[in-house]
Amino acid sequence: MSKSKALIELTTTTAVIDAIGGGIPDKSATQVVAEALGSNYNAVFNWHAQHTFPSRTYVVLRKLLAAKGFCAPDSLWGMTEEARVA
């Protein structure tokens, strides 16, 4: 991926999981993400409804997203973001 190409921002946990794990034959996106994190399928499944990821997944998920041309706001990991000045 070219460094000049802007990353596409995903704003929901479901969109992040689908972007990282989608397109793998015979596996759900949730299963792919669980395997990538060494996590339990049910834990990853619950992130769809909780609308946030555990902070311990921040580095790995951000790297996986960037490798596919995506990014996500830090707030999806429960982190406070800078206020935007008009």
Q: Give yes or no for a contact between 12 and 51, defined as CB atoms under 8 angstroms apart.
A: yes
In a domain, 83, yes or no: no
Name 70's bridge partners. 8
What 8-state DSSP symbol labels residue 52?
-
In a domain, 81, yes or no: no
In a domain, 18, yes or no: yes
Provide the residue-wise pLDDT of the chain in tens; the chain has 86 residues. Answer: 445 578 899 999 999 999 999 888 889 999 999 999 999 999 999 999 999 999 999 999 999 999 999 999 999 999 987 777 76
Q: Give yes or no for a contact between 27 and 36, defined as CB atoms under 8 angstroms apart.
A: no
Q: Determine the structural domain holding residue 34 and report its residue range.
A: 9-68
Of 42, 64, 61, whose CA–CA distance to 53 is shortest?
61
Q: How many domains does the chain have?
A: 1
The pLDDT value given to residue 17: 97
The pLDDT value given to residue 86: 66
In a domain, 73, yes or no: no
In a domain, 46, yes or no: yes
The pLDDT value given to residue 26: 86
The pLDDT value given to residue 22: 87
